[in-house]
Chain A
Amino acid sequence: MSNIETLIKTLVEKHGKTRNSLMPVLQGIVKEEHFLSEEAMIAVAKELDLSAADVYGTASFYTFLDTVPRGKNIIRICKTISCHMKGKDEIIEALEDVLKIKVGETTHDKKFTLLTANCLGWCHKGPVMLVNDEVFPEINQQKAVEIIEGIAKASK
């Protein structure tokens, strides 16, 4: 059994074999693997006796369940109007510059993926950046770059 199949078996044991477990199982995989591969979705479908299209339908609905490979750390910059007016574009530019990637891409060392997100609910403290589960409100170019560099160092 491949690693991913073992992981899914464990998750299904934990959450149960019903359709209701689909979301927590998918979230569990993303937590470990950072994205849902074709292989992973198929294995989930098999375990829960669902069609593969069904699993893909659910996975592709949620922005936070990625179906393309992602880096270890996922950076999301809020792109909604308040953060836009507070200068999210400059922040994106600064990050694209240090990471040497564009929005939607992943660094060569697979450490970072840079994405935008719809409203993160922090309009009063924009612009806001989300790195994995951690929120960084009221950032500017310099702060954003420092945070990312800090994470890069810590994970060396």
Chain B
Amino acid sequence: MSEYLVNLKINNIPVSVKEGTTILDAAKKLNFNVPTLCNHPDLSVAGNCRVCVVEVKGARLLAASCATPVSEGMEVLTNSEKVRTARKHVIELLLSEHNADCTKCFKNGHCELQDLASEYRIGDHVFIDLVKAKDKIADISSPSISKDDSKCIRCQRCVRTCDELQSVSALAVVKKGDHQKISTFMNKPLHEVVCTNCGQCINRCPTGALTERTYIEEVWKAINDPLKHVVVQTAPAVRIGLGEDLGYDPGERVTGKMVAALKHIGFDSVLDTDFTADLTIMEEGTELLTRLKKALVDGEKVALPMMTSCSPGWIKFQEHMFPDLLDNLSTCKSPQQMFGALAKTYYAKKKGIDPKNMVSVSIMPCTAKKFECGRPEMRDSGYQDVDYVLTTRELAMMVKQAGINFMKLEDEHYDSIMGNSTGAAVIFGATGGVMEAALRTAYEIVTGREVPFTNLNIMPLRGFEGVKEAKVMIKDVKPEWSFLEGAELSVAIAHGLHNANTLMKAVREGKANYHFIEVMGCPGGCLGGGGQPIPTSPEIRSKRAEAIYGEDEGLPLRKSHENPEVIQIYKDFLGEPLGHKSHDLLHTHYKPRIRY
């Protein structure tokens, strides 16, 4: 975009903006709010819903402000009588095809369409009701995603998300006219197609057409069952997102209040996925060093670069799209599933609970984890390791249902054991975080010294660039790691499946000479996960990232291998990283799937 400034007037107020700016963004600069539905800050312009229309002096037709660039001398009215009438008609037309049963809708109270309908006081039906009865049956074949076409306004945000951000294109616009709909290939159930369950489409759907499959009722039932011991784990990114659904601005850390709320709700033990994030670093770091040793010393053929495996959306993507690279994935389970396997074994034994009577719930910023917990590989405790996965949004809903005044809560601490963690685990929630945590530990194991970055902050690994790269020189190693002396460790990081796709193509073609790659399925990493509060935007994700790194800096321990509970579990139960028990409980394998 050029630096050339364009002068125009919006609602009679002069403003100068860069050439190429849309009328919508120029109006925003003056704090005039223009409603939008198909437009989204993360996506390309579609210009199909027309609720953003404005009047441009001299033009015969109203202009879609999201799709019209400003021009010199332009005079725009964002809220004239003509504009309001047109917008009202647009909303009425959308509602005439919409199954507006708001009281039963998961999006009630968080719905962009509902907000507009109430803002424009849409009342009696002006247009004929066209909601077809047959469309009212939602596709709930997926354990993660519910798709209800009767709520769809065909804004196509989901289609653009799945294509532009995720390079999956499980959804497309099919047919035309009044038959047009958002569909999978041949309208097959979602669980039969390439969908990764990432939930990014949910985060951007302005209505209740795409939502998570919710398990709130099942969880309440377990809590209210006196025979059940219900443990809950909370993922790193939940503590910096949850506040947004409970009255805080983005970027607020609510860890202590969240723990307090979970105790009020009635969970028997409130524990932390961060504990198994630290454990993941021990296992995955050891796995990387082992692979490197095999390659460099034993001359064995091992799959390198090794790739992280914490993100189940990414795992399913890889299974569908790059089944030839499954050996490159670390065999480590995600922290959620490590936690699940340990909860019903180690924890149960330590606390004297019969695992049969345990219900294991996890609160995740993620919808793909709902799918992951049901994978047949995830039953190593002898039971389903994790029973129910709730999103950050579902937890917020439970907090409200429980009548808790969240903002007034006093901070509380996680229970023990499996409630202790380090800053290295917290940063799992941001893209680059797993890599940073792994390097903090691996570098120290190999050299006996801390990573050579001020205050342990490995800045080159942070930020939202699509694919990040870094190199770390390894010098003056301990004798047992002499084969790494003078080696340069080369790493890469991708977030969002579009970036992962680019990186994987390079790996497949042999053009990417890295040792270790971190991939997170969602833009920004888990902090931008498909289960996080809606809305999302680059600014919101930046705020959440700041909160994550702030939480890390505020913790007394910031290296996974220093977590006392991690040291203890190896002593009491696991033996050593990659040991026999670890192999049984903490590692898994993958399954090639077809893309078509």
Contact = CB atoms under 8 A, between A and B. Distances in A.
A52 B174 contact: no
Contacts of B169: 50-51, 53-54
Contacts of A50: 169
A33 B595 CA distance: 24
Contacts of B183: 53, 56-57
Contact of A51 (B174, B176, B185, B186): B185
A50 B185 CA distance: 12
A3 B22 CA distance: 51
A29 interface: no
A67 B179 CA distance: 15
B398 to A, nearest CB: 34
Nearest to A63: B176
A46 B174 contact: no
A46 B596 contact: yes
A10 interface: no
A46 B193 CA distance: 15
Interface in B165-213: 168-176, 183-186, 193-194
Interface in A39-76: 41-42, 45-46, 50-57, 60-61, 67
Contacts of A54: 163, 169, 172
A67 B183 CA distance: 15
A84 to B, nearest CB: 18
Contacts of B596: 42, 45-46, 52
B185 A60 contact: no
Contacts of B175: 60-61
Contacts of A55: 185
A38 B176 CA distance: 19
Interface in A93-136: none
A64 B512 CA distance: 44
B172 A57 contact: yes
A53 B193 contact: yes
A54 B175 CA distance: 12
Contacts of B185: 41-42, 51-53, 55-56
A61 B177 CA distance: 9
Nearest to A39: B596
Interface of A: 38, 41-42, 45-46, 50-57, 60-61, 67
Ranked nearest first, the 10 interchain pairs of A and B with the lowest CB-CB distance are A57-B172, A51-B169, A52-B185, A53-B172, A60-B174, A53-B185, A42-B596, A60-B175, A57-B174, A56-B185
Given A51-B170, A51-B172, A56-B185, 13 more contacts: A41-B185, A42-B596, A46-B595, A46-B596, A52-B185, A52-B194, A52-B596, A53-B184, A54-B163, A56-B186, A57-B173, A60-B174, A60-B175
13 contacts: A41-B185, A41-B186, A42-B596, A51-B168, A51-B170, A51-B194, A52-B185, A52-B595, A53-B185, A53-B193, A55-B185, A60-B175, A61-B175
